[in-house]
Amino acid sequence: MGRQDIDVVVVGAGVIGLTAGVVLAEAGARVRILTAEEPSATTSAVAGALTGIVPPGSLPALERWGTITTDEFTMLAADPSTGVRLASGLALARVEGEFPSSSTTLPGFAMLRPEELAEGFQVGFRATVPLVEMPRYLRYLTDRYCAAGGELTVRRLRTLTEAAEQARTVVNCTGTGARDLVLDDSVRPGWGQHVVVENPGVTEFFVEHTTAAKWASFMPHGDHVVLGGVAVLDQWDRATDLDVAAGILRRCTAVEPLLAGARVLEHRVGLRPDRPVVRLEAELLGDGRRVHCYGHGGMGVSLSWGCARDVAALVASS
């Protein structure tokens, strides 16, 4: 397989790599995704996940990527097969400064009255946002990518030079893998764990906005609910921690008593690609070009379509 066969190689098949692959393939490029893991085994498959709520103090680029992504997910919610639906729920903060004020434009936005706040929270709101069942959504993205003519190969690379042997343009969407593949030591694993329980009747999402390493969040997806959350920097081990799981259950139950005693179905662990800022830029590589798109932390889903469109623009300009 030489360079004459493929226009672009995308490295990584999490939500960032798959979305970039879809946008590029649907624009007419011949695309091959090389991935160390199947999409179902990536950190993206572990996510809750919702879009539309951008943390306070976000850079303008993040707000733009987030708006584009939310608009795309809102359209996808019209098709149940995507795993995306519009859901109502609550976002609360224990500290005023952690309130995401940019969310005031969300559909159904309404500030909560003091008596509506869960114990220990100072501010919060209700809104309607796209909620994404990630395992199903990743299958949808993969099918859409392949329907556009894209190829997906499971192959672990040692360097990006191996990908450059197949195409002049390489798009690096490797998440935490960028630490080794491009020697970017500003990328750190943000170890996270979710507990999936049988749904006892929860219909609304809940997300706590905080800078702390532990919080409460839960996302109902029909017959199950995904509970979080926790973030531990520089931990690479993907083993389940039952003590962490107990803490997640305790925090979520304090907010929603319906969850007390809910049957645990599974534990999910992933490594969020933490970085001071998202890296989305192009650089020359011999007679080719690299486009980097990684370091999204816990916001990969929320920024995916906006970033993918910028990736496609950089590829087109090469």
pLDDT in tens, 215-244: 999 999 999 999 999 999 999 999 999 999
Return d(Cα 46, Cα 177) in angstroms, integer: 17
Alpha helices in the chain (DSSP H): 15-26, 60-76, 134-147, 160-164, 178-181, 242-255, 300-316
**Closest to 227 measured CA to CA, from 53, 43, 48:** 48
Tens-digit pLDDT string for the chain (318 aa): 455 689 999 999 999 999 999 999 999 999 999 999 999 999 999 998 999 887 766 678 888 999 999 999 999 999 999 999 999 999 999 887 666 666 778 899 999 999 999 889 999 999 999 999 999 999 999 999 999 999 999 999 998 889 999 999 999 999 999 999 999 999 999 999 999 999 999 999 999 988 889 999 999 999 999 999 999 999 999 999 999 999 999 999 999 999 999 999 999 999 999 999 999 999 987 788 999 999 999 999 999 999 999 999 999 986
Tell me what pLDDT residue 58 has.
67
Distance between alpha carbon 162 and the CA centroid of its chain, in Å? Answer: 26
Tell me what pLDDT residue 225 has.
97
**Tokens 């996808």 label which residue?**
76
Burial of 85 (0-12, 13-18, 19+ CB in 10 A): middle
Going across the sheet that includes 279-285, the strands are 151-154, 31-35, 8-11, 169-172, 288-294, 279-285
Tell me what pLDDT residue 98 has.
64
Tell me what pLDDT residue 317 has.
87
Q: Which domains does the chain have, with CATH numbers?
A: 8-316 (3.30.9.10)
CA-based R_g, the chain, Å: 19
Tell me what pLDDT residue 60 has.
82
Tell me what pLDDT residue 53 has.
83
Contacts of 230 (CB under 8 A, 6+ apart): 191, 192, 193, 213, 214, 215, 244, 247, 248
Q: Which is it for the CA torsion 211, 215, 219, 224, positive or negative?
A: positive
Burial 159-198, CB ≥16 within 10 A → b, else e: ebebbbebbbbbbbbbbbbbbebbebeebbbbbbbbbbbe
